[in-house]
Amino acid sequence: MSLTPVEIRHVRLARGVGYKREAVDRLLADVVESFEDVWRDRADLADRIETLHGDLQRFREMESILRSTLVSAESAAADLRERARHEAQIILDEARSEARAVTRESQRERDQLQQESRRIRSLLGSALAAFNEVADDSKAQQAPSVTDQPAATAPTTPAADTGSLPLLEDTQEHLLGLDEPAGSSSRAA
């Protein structure tokens, strides 16, 4: 049987022989006070337990939310990493493709320039050969006429004209040797 402190306070013991009344009343008052303290502590602890149960429930909910958030964050991070890896691969593929296209275009342009350079050298060689033929013919025609005339009446030609043919040959060799790829020999016209 459970008694409250109020019930203990109002209990009246039968009178009889044996114990002294004052001592028993003092003992009962001490028991009542002690029991009241225990009941208050019990009520406080019950309130505390109720509060802790509420906190525990809230913490369990927070733990559940944090777990789901963590799983979502890990999943999102994995997705982002995969997407970034995929985009990086696409960028690399595009860059490689563009590099190949630029390389092909530069090789095509180089081949065109080499072909144009060969064509110009050929034309220049033909022009120089034609010029040399004209110069040689001119020399051949001037040689007999110079010997037929006396030295005083020989036509005077500027010094640059008499020395131009060796310079022309040097120029021809020089121009034919320009823009030759390494290891190729210059063409003679």
The CA angle 117-123-128, to the nearest 5 degrees, is 120
The residue behind tokens 């030609």 is 157
Q: What percent of the chain has pLDDT over 70?
A: 71
* Cα dist from 87 to 33, 93, 100, whole Å: 78, 10, 20
DSSP 99-124: HHHHHHHHHHHHHHHHHHHHHHHHHH
Check if the beta carbon of residue 175 is closer than 8 Å to that of residue 128.
yes
Helices 21-148 and 164-177, packing angle to 10 deg: 150
Nearest to 172 by CA among 127, 134, 140: 127
The residue behind tokens 């002294």 is 20
Q: What are phi and psi of 188, to 5 degrees?
A: -95, 135
**pLDDT by 10s per residue, the chain, length 189:** 566 777 777 777 666 677 777 777 787 888 888 888 888 999 999 999 999 999 999 999 999 999 999 999 999 999 999 999 999 999 999 999 999 999 999 999 999 999 999 999 999 999 998 888 888 888 888 765 545 555 544 444 444 444 444 455 555 555 555 555 554 444 443
The alpha-helical segments, DSSP class H, found in 149-163 are: 159-162
